[in-house]
Amino acid sequence: MEDLKYQIDLLTALNERLLNSEKMYRHIAECSGTLFMYFDYRTSPAKVDLVGPWDDMVGEKIANHPYDESYMLNLLLDEDQDKFRIHMLELEREGLETDTVDVRSRNKRYWLSCFANVTYDDDKRPIEKIISIKDITRIKMNSEELEYLAFYDSLTGVYNRNYFVRKFRDMCELADSEKVSVEIMFVDIDDFKKINDSIGLLFGDELVQEFGQYLKGFNSDDVLVGRFGSDVFVIAIFNPCGQRSSDVIYHKILERLRHPFMLTNKTEIMFTVSCGVAEYPDAGRTALEVIKNAEIVLYKAKEKGKNGIQYFELDILNKFIRNISIEKQLKEAIETESFQLYYQPQYNAEDGKLRGAEALLRWPDPDGEGFITSPGEFIPIAEKNGAIIPIGSYVIKEALRTFSDWRNKYHIPMILSINISALQLERENFVESISNAININGISPESIELEITESAIINNFEDVIDKIKTLRGLGMRVSLDDFGTGYSSLSYLKQLPIDTIKIDRSFIETAVKDDSSGIIYESVIELSKKLGFETVAEGVETKEQFNYLREKNIDIVQGFLLGRPVGKVEFEKLLIRQIP
Per CB under 6 A, residues contacting ligand C2E are: 344, 360-361, 374-376, 379, 392, 395, 419, 421, 451, 481-482, 505, 538-541, 558-560, 565
Q: What is the closest distance, in whole angstroms, from the C-beta atom of residue 191 to Mg ion in the complex?
A: 29
Sheet of strand 34-40: strand arrangement: 47-51, 34-40, 126-135, 111-120, 101-104
Tell me the window of 119-127, 270-278, 509-517, 532-540 that interacts with Mg ion (CB under 5 A). 532-540
Q: Are 278 and 184 in contact (CB under 8 A)?
A: yes
Rounded to 10 degrees, the C-alpha dihedral 291/297/303/304 comes to -140
Rounded to a whole number of angstroms, the minimum distance from the CB of residue 461 to Mg ion is 20
**Beta carbon nearer to Mg ion, 316 or 468:** 468
- Give residues with Cβ within 8 angstroms of 319, minimum separation 6: none
For position 555 contacting Mg ion by CB under 5 A, the verdict is no
Tell whether residue 454 is a contact of Mg ion (CB under 5 A): no
Residue 541 interacting entry, from ligand C2E, Mg ion, none, C-beta within 5 to 8 Å by type: ligand C2E
If you ran DSSP here, which 8-state letter would residue 244 be given? B
Using CB under 5 A as the binding rule, whether residue 451 contacts Mg ion is answered as: yes
**What is the nearest approach in angstroms of ligand C2E to the Cβ of residue 342?**
7
**DSSP sequence for 162-221:** HHHHHHHHHHHHHHHHHT--EEEEEEEETTHHHHHHHH-HHHHHHHHHHHHHHHHTT-SS
> Are the C-beta atoms of residues 476 and 450 closer than 8 Å to each other?
yes
**Min CB(482)–ligand C2E separation in Å:** 5
344 binds, among Mg ion, ligand C2E, none (CB under 5 to 8 A by kind): ligand C2E
Which option in Mg ion, ligand C2E, none does residue 560 bind, with CB closer than 5 to 8 A by kind? Answer: ligand C2E
CB nearer Mg ion, residue 228 or residue 378: 378
DSSP assignment of 312-369: --HHHHHHHHHHHHHHHHHHHHHHTT--EEEEEEEEETTT--EEEEEEEEE-B-TTSS
Q: How many residues bind Mg ion (CB under 5 A)?
A: 5
Return all residues near 209 (Cβ < 8 A) that are at least 6 apart: 155, 156
- Rule CB under 5 A: which of 199-238 touch Mg ion? none
Stretch that binds Mg ion, among 236-244, 336-344, 422-430, 480-488 (CB under 5 A): 480-488
The nearest distance, CB 261 to ligand C2E, in angstroms, is 40
Residue 502: CB minimum distance to Mg ion, A? 5
Of 13, 64, 57, 4, nearest to 35 by C-alpha is: 57
Q: Tell me the sheet residues that pair with 329.
A: none
Q: What is the DSSP letter of 450?
A: E
Residue 482 as a binder of Mg ion (CB under 5 A): the answer is: yes
Q: Is 449 in the site for Mg ion (CB under 5 A)?
A: no
Separation between Cα atoms, residue 325 and residue 334, nearest integer Å: 14
Name residues contacting Mg ion, limited to 405-444 (CB under 5 A). 419
Q: Report the candidate in 358, 562, 326 with the shortest Cα–Cα distance to residue 451.
A: 358
Cis peptide before 45 (omega within 30 of 0): yes
Taking the least distance from each CB to ligand C2E, the nearer of 273 and 524 is 524
Q: Nearest distance from residue 451's CB to ligand C2E, in Å?
A: 6
In terms of CB distance, is 48 or 458 closer to Mg ion? 458
CB of 257 to Mg ion, least distance (A): 38
Cβ-Cβ contacts under 8 Å for 577 (sequence gap 6 or more): none
Distance in Å, CB of 571 to Mg ion, minimum:
16
Q: CA 580 to CA 353: how far, in whole Å?
A: 12
Q: Contact 559/537 with Cβ under 8 angstroms?
A: yes
Q: Does 183 bind Mg ion (CB under 5 A)?
A: no
**Which of 135-143, 214-222, 534-542, 545-553 is the region at the interface with Mg ion (rule: CB under 5 A)?**
534-542
Residue 325 site contact among Mg ion, ligand C2E, none (CB < 5 to 8 Å, cut-off depends on kind): none
Residue 374 site contact among ligand C2E, Mg ion, none (CB < 5 to 8 Å, cut-off depends on kind): ligand C2E
Instruction: Name the residue nearer to Mg ion (CB basis): 183 or 482.
Output: 482
Residues making up the chain, counted from first to last: 580
Residue 188 engages Mg ion in binding (rule: CB under 5 A): no
Sole window of 5-13, 215-223, 449-457, 547-555 interacting with Mg ion (rule: CB under 5 A):
449-457
For Mg ion, the closer CB: 249 or 501: 501
| Site of interaction with Mg ion (CB under 5 A) | 419, 451, 481-482, 538
